[in-house]
């Protein structure tokens, strides 16, 4: 059984804080199982967006993990990331949006193997 989204988000923000990275919940989603989207602002007008990995990325031996994939291999203009987030919320009103700020682009997420 996977951690509830609200607990995962709280732990993720704590991790960011311990590394000196500012992070905040921009939008609260469903507490139990809302999808989590993580935006990493690079503070230069660009950002990275990480979305939940497809279910095929999960190992049956570790079903509790949360894996993410970047929307693009490189940072995108912030307005492009914001447009994508608006579309995601229209599609899934239970989604969470977490935003961090780090010039180095550190995200502290487990990325799915491609």
Here the CATH number for the domain that contains residue 22 is: 3.40.1530.20
Look at residues 47, 22, 28 and name the one whose alpha carbon lies nearest to residue 100.
Answer: 22
pLDDT of residue 58: 53
Query: Would you say residue 107 lies in a domain?
Result: no
What's this model's pTM, rounded to 2 decimal places? 0.91
Query: Would you say residue 33 lies in a domain?
Result: yes
pLDDT in tens, 45-101: 999 999 998 865 555 555 557 899 999 999 999 999 999 999 999 999 999 999 999
HSE, CB side, 13 Å, CA atoms: give it for residue 51.
14
Query: Would you say residue 106 lies in a domain?
Result: no
pLDDT of residue 88: 96
Query: Would you say residue 48 lies in a domain?
Result: yes
Query: Would you say residue 85 lies in a domain?
Result: yes
Whole-number mean pLDDT of the chain? Answer: 91
Q: Which domain holds residue 12?
A: 3-99
Query: Would you say residue 112 lies in a domain?
Result: no
pLDDT of residue 32: 87
Query: Would you say residue 42 lies in a domain?
Result: yes
pLDDT of residue 64: 55
pLDDT of residue 36: 96
- Gap between the Cα atoms of 29 and 25, Å rounded: 10
Q: Work out how many domains the chain is built from and give that number.
A: 1
Query: Would you say residue 104 lies in a domain?
Result: no
């Amino acid at each position: 059984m996977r951690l509830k989204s609200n607990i995962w988000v709280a732990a993720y923000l704590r991790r960011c804080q311990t590394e000196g990275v500012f992070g905040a919940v921009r939008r609260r989603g469903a507490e139990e199982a809302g999808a989590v989207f993580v935006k990493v602002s690079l503070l230069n007008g660009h950002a990275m967006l990480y979305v939940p990995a497809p279910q095929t990325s999960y190992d049956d031996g570790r079903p509790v993990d949360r894996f993410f994939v970047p929307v693009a291999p490189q940072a995108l203009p912030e307005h492009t990331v914001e447009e994508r987030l608006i579309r995601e919320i229209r599609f899934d009103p239970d989604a969470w949006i977490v935003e961090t700020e780090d010039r180095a682009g550190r995200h502290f997420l487990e990325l799915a193997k491609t």
